Chain A
Amino acid sequence: MRNWSILFGLAALFSVAAFLYAPFAAEWWLPNPPGELHHSVSTLGREIDFLFLIILAITGLVFIGTQVVLVWGAYKFTDQLDQQGKPVRPATYSHGNHRLEVVWTLVPAAILVFIAVYQLGTWARIKYPSRAPKVPPLAEITARQFQWVVRYPGPDGRLNSPDDLILINDLHFVKNKQALIYLKSSDVLHSFFLPYMRVKQDAVPGLTIPVWFDSDRAGSFELACAELCGWGHYKMRGKVVVHETEAEFEKWASNRLAEQNRSQLGMASGAEGY
């Protein structure tokens, strides 16, 4: 039965190898911009990643330790039988060890308390409405089955006024600038998920939830729904574009607004064929 211990050993080795490989492979690691495998684009994202790595290191070390003991024990103490089929080494039973139990309860408890206390600040910076950046809102985003309706305040800076720009699945903001959105749902639970910005927040019918994030890289990213919300859940994908400058964003917004205000076709359409 020694083979089992070898199998367990291999499985553990494979898992550890996978974790050692992951930080060097884009598909295996956290979603980060191409070419910058270890750069998380958002400020809060970097805090979250740091916490994630601490936990990964702690659990990783514990995993390696326990696996070594497990495999070594299984290998060393495999039952051996003599000619008559009787165990060569009969098992002995001990009746608990108070000190050992106290140690293996207190050490994990201490680690847990450390993690719980250590992340409090980050949690508050991400989730407490009172910590929301004091900036005018970028947009109000309403989730519905199955799309994100993004309402930008338009030139007057006020939401729900006649000059609002309303787009579907299209979120734009500016590099290095805090973006604040108000998240709503018009039907069921959805979850607003910006994997690159490490933002995940449920959209709850009846609530308006402030969510904030930023990015220090311009480019195209992704928005997804992370709460199974019905058969069309997978369709709730959105474009996220981070503009290099405020001016570029303004230009995009005013182009889209001009399109929303379109009252005549530009060019004569209707050529031959389709």
Chain B
Amino acid sequence: MITRSRFIAALGLAGLLVTSVGCTDSLNAGPLVYVDNEALTHELKGKANLAGKPALQAKVRAALARLYGDSPNQIRVPEGSGFPRGGLTLANHRQIGEGESARIEPIQALLPNGSPDPAHRQAGGFALYRRNCLHCHGVSGAGDGPTATFLFPRPRDFRKGVYKFTSTPSGAKPHRDDLTRSIRDGLLGTSMPAFDALMSPSEIEQVVDYVMFLSMRGETELALIEEGSISDEKDADALGDDIVKEIATGVFEKWKSAQSQVMNPSTPRTASDRASVLRGRDLYLGRTKEKLECAGCHGALAKGDGPSFVPVDVFNMVVFGGDPSTRQERVDALDEKLRTLWNQKPDDWGNPLRPTNLNRGVFKGGRRPIDLFWRIAKGINGAQMPAHYPTLNEAQIWDLVNFVLALEHDPDLLASVPPAPAPRLAESGSTR
């Protein structure tokens, strides 16, 4: 008898364990909330911040909650942001209408007692983001998910609203399709995965919405902090409704206007014959009158080892040579010259940056000629790679594209050129 009741108890325990694992929310370390930007509460050298201004901090938080909702589970789509087109199914809640008259309804089915039905899958941008992206990009899109520390390059911090692989003018917001492409095809050579086989096209669209939402929220937060840093803590009108509205509208407008500024090359790619590749090589090596700096960053052999950046072995030592949390110690141990060079060349997010080795045929932003055209013409935002249009005309950019694409299959293309001494450089520059 005793054995039987014990058996039943064990069965019951096992059952309980299985059901409790089902409710994932119960395993969360804390409530799911957006994390403040560091500049809201901390003194940051050389950056606007609201350290020691509690009244203004509270105003920023209140304004963000009013515009974007209290938490990832209670998202609001701010008026004038330019969503929808599916943009309103951002989270587990769906917003119906805009602004004051907006109603927010749960997408999730509810049990009769009003609590969410756990059997019903969470849907919408946030739910997808939470399942697929959060562990790298973080709850607030700060690029600080639990896996982020172990990755190089680090996952993107969406809050600056700066994106690398765009088809819009240098420095502008990305077009929606640019983000879709990065998510669908991934960023080859980095840990950013391709989601084509993991999500349906409409799911990808929803998650794109959520990425844009996080960027708008982050940019609004930064702009409010900036405005607050020049305001008086005791001024009751500081960061008032009008100012908040103006700031938010400014953010939305930048996103909206970028959508019509995609650069479409007016001439198709030049045929990739030897002559074009060689013209591209001259441009790359700075032997034309434009005196391009490509080789200064990417190196004379395009191995990503140009003199503008610290040597590859030093870079590897600092970035991969130990615990990521002690990286600064390894930087401090460099000699004066290297340290200065190191400090000049982080990316816009403050992370280590390396020019691409162009011989491997691995391009983060895609290998289509149009992708490379955009990279060279528009530069790579936040990553020091400059824009070259209109310094170069379209034909010259196509020559460069052909040259870059040829490198993978022709290792001698650069190795066979003798390093040009300075005087000859000027000479050949005039005889293109």
- Residues in A lying within 8 Å of B, measured CB to CB: 3, 145-147, 149, 160-162, 166, 168-170, 231-232, 235, 237-239, 259-265, 268-274
Q: Are A262 and B186 in contact (CB under 8 A)?
A: no
Closest to A260 in B: B368
Shortest CB-to-CB span from B302 to chain A, Å, is 17
With the chains together, A274 CA to B258 CA distance in Å?
10
Of A146, A162, A262, A269, the contact of B368 (CB 8 Å cutoff): A262
Number of residues on chain B facing chain A (CB within 8 A): 43
A268/B264 contact (C-beta < 8 A), A260-B368, A261-B368, A263-B373 known: yes
Q: Do B265 and A263 touch (CB < 8 A)?
A: yes
State the Cβ distance, B365 to closest chain A Cβ, in Å: 13
Contact call B264/A273, Cβ cutoff below 8 A: no
Task: Assess whether A270 is in contact with B4, with CB atoms less than 8 Å apart.
Answer: no
8 shortest A-B CB distances, which residue pairs?
A263-B269, A270-B260, A263-B369, A169-B197, A168-B194, A265-B264, A274-B176, A262-B368
Contact A259 B256 (CB under 8 A): no
B409 interface hit (Cβ, 8 Å): yes
Partner-A contacts on B (CB < 8 A): 3-4, 82-85, 87, 147, 175-177, 185-186, 188, 191, 193-194, 196-198, 209, 212, 255-256, 259-262, 264-265, 268-269, 272, 367-370, 373, 398, 405-406, 408-409
A232 — nearest CB in chain B belongs to which residue? B193
In the complex, how many angstroms separate the beta carbon of A240 from the nearest chain B beta carbon?
A: 10
Give CA–CA (A232, B146) in the complex, Å. 13
Pairwise interchain contact B409-A271, C-beta atoms closer than 8 A? no
Question: B196 near A170 (CB under 8 angstroms)?
Answer: yes
Chain B residue with the shortest CB-CB distance to A273: B82
**Is the pair A232, B194 in contact by a Cβ cutoff of 8 Å?**
no
Which of the residues B84, B176, B196, B260 comes within 8 Å of A168, measured between beta carbons? Answer: B196
Q: 14 other contacts beyond A147-B186, A262-B370, A273-B259, with CB at 8 A cut-off? A: A162-B272, A166-B367, A168-B196, A232-B193, A235-B193, A235-B198, A239-B196, A264-B264, A264-B370, A269-B177, A270-B262, A273-B256, A274-B83, A274-B176
Once A160-B409, A274-B212 are accepted as A-B contacts, the answer to whether A260 and B193 lie under 8 Å apart by CB is no
Chain B contacts for A271, CB-based, 8 A: 259
In the complex, A241→B3 CA distance in Å?
54
Give the distance in Å from the alpha carbon of A56 to the alpha carbon of B135 in the complex: 42
Does the CB pair A3–B264 fall under 8 Å? no
In the complex, how many residue pairs between chain A and chain B have their CB atoms under 8 Å apart?
Answer: 87
Are B368 and A259 in touch, CB under 8 angstroms?
yes
Which B residues lie within 8 Å of A239 (CB)? 196-197
Contact in complex: A274, B193 (CB < 8 Å) = no
Which residue from chain A places its CB closest to the CB of B184 in the assembled complex? A168
Residue from A149, A166, A168 having most chain B Cβ neighbours under 10 A: A168
Task: Provide the residues of chain B in CB contact with A168, threshold 8 Å.
Answer: 185-186, 188, 194, 196
Chain B residue contacts of A232, Cβ below 8 A: 191, 193
Chain A min CB distance to B134 (Å)? 13
Q: Give which listed residue, B85, B185, B265, B367, contacts A274 with CB less than 8 A.
A: B85
Are the CB atoms of B262 and A265 closer together than 8 Å?
yes
CA distance A231 to B193 in the complex (A): 12
Residues on B with C-beta less than 8 A from A147 are 186, 193-194
Q: How far is the CA of A17 from the CA of B196 in the complex (A)?
A: 40
Q: List 28 A-B contacts (CB under 8 A).
A: A3-B4, A145-B191, A147-B194, A162-B272, A162-B408, A162-B409, A168-B186, A169-B197, A237-B197, A238-B197, A239-B196, A239-B197, A260-B368, A261-B269, A263-B265, A263-B268, A263-B269, A263-B368, A263-B369, A264-B265, A264-B268, A264-B370, A270-B175, A270-B260, A273-B83, A274-B82, A274-B83, A274-B85
Docked CA distance A92–B268 (Å):
95
- What is the distance, in angstroms, from B260's C-beta to the closest C-beta of chain A? 4
Is there contact, CB below 8 Å, between B370 and A265?
Answer: yes
Specify which chain B residues have a CB less than 8 angstroms from the CB of A265 in the assembled complex: 262, 264, 370
How far is the CB of A58 from the nearest CB of chain B, in Å? 32
Q: How many whole Å from A152's CB to the nearest CB in chain B? A: 14
On chain A, the residues within 8 Å of B260 by CB distance are 270
B258 to chain A, nearest CB (A): 9
Q: Are B261 and A270 in contact (CB under 8 A)?
A: yes
Which residues of chain A are within 8 angstroms of B175 by Cβ–Cβ distance?
A: 269-270
Residues from chain B with Cβ under 8 Å of A273 in the complex = 82-85, 256, 259
CA distance A161 to B265 in the complex (A): 26
- Residues on A with C-beta less than 8 A from B264 are 264-265, 268
Question: Which residues of the other chain, A, contact B373 by a CB distance below 8 angstroms?
Answer: 263
Q: How far is the CB of A219 from chain B (nearest CB, A)?
A: 16
A238 to B198, CA, bound (A): 8
Contacting residues, chain B, for A166 (C-beta < 8 A): 367
Q: Is the pair B370, A263 in contact by a Cβ cutoff of 8 Å? A: yes
Residues on A with C-beta less than 8 A from B255 are 274
Complex CA gap A259/B405 in Å reads 15
**In the bound complex, how far is the Cα of B85 from the Cα of A168, in angstroms?**
28
| Cβ–Cβ < 8 Å partners of A160 in chain B | 409
Q: How long is the Cα–Cα vector from A259 to B181 in the complex, in angstroms?
A: 13
A263–B262 Cα distance when bound, in Å, is 14
Query: Which residues from chain A contact B82 at a C-beta distance below 8 Å?
Result: 273-274
What residue of chain A has the Cβ atom nearest to residue B150's Cβ? A231
Smallest Cβ distance from B259 to chain A, in angstroms?
5
B82 smallest CB distance to A (angstroms): 5
> With A162-B409, A264-B264 given, is the CB distance from A270 to B259 under 8 Å?
yes
Bound CA span A94–B83, Å: 85
Residues of chain A with a CB closer than 8 A to B87's CB: 274
Which chain B residues lie closer than 8 Å to A238 at the CB level? 197
Is there an interface contact between A269 and B197, defined as CB atoms closer than 8 Å?
Answer: no
Smallest distance from the beta carbon of B157 to chain A beta carbons, Å?
Answer: 20
Nearest chain-A residue to B209 (Cβ)? A274
Q: Which residues of B contact A161 (CB under 8 A)?
A: 409
| CA of A232 to CA of B406, assembled, Å | 33
Contact residues in B for A145 (Cβ distance below 8 Å): 191
Q: Are A269 and B262 in contact (CB under 8 A)?
A: yes
CB distance from A155 to the nearest CB of B (A): 15
- Known contacts A168-B186, A269-B175, A274-B87; A146/B262 CB under 8 A: no
A195 CB, nearest partner CB in chain B, Å: 15
C-alpha gap A147/B406 in the complex (Å):
25
How far, in whole Å, are A161 and B410 apart by their CA atoms in the complex?
A: 10
Chain B residue nearest to A235 (CB atoms) is B193
Contacts of B176 in A (CB 8 A): 274
Pick from A145, A259, A261 the residue with the most CB of B within 10 Å.
Answer: A261
